[in-house]
Amino acid sequence: MHARTILQSLQQGILICNRNARIVYFNDAYGEFIGKRLEEVQGEEITKYRKHAMVPQVIQTQIPIEGIVRTEGNQEYFASVYPIKEGDIPNGTISIVTTLAQHQLKVKQKTETLSERVRKFEREEILAEIAYCGGGVEGKKKAAAQLGISLATLYNKIKED
pLDDT tens-place string over residues 2-16: 777 777 777 788 999
Domain ranges in the chain?
3-105, 112-158
Q: How far, in Å, CA of 1 to CA of 24, rounded?
A: 20
pLDDT tens-place string over residues 67-87: 888 877 777 788 999 999 999
Percent of the chain with pLDDT over 90: 41
pLDDT tens-place string over residues 112-155: 777 887 888 888 888 888 888 887 899 899 999 999 999 999 99
> Taking the model in full, what pTM does it have?
0.60
Pick one of 3.30.450.20, 3.20.20.370, 3.40.50.2300, 3.40.50.300 as the CATH number of 3-105: 3.30.450.20
Residues paired with residue 76 on neighbouring β-strands, in sequence order: 71
Q: How far, in Å, CA of 33 to CA of 99, rounded?
A: 8
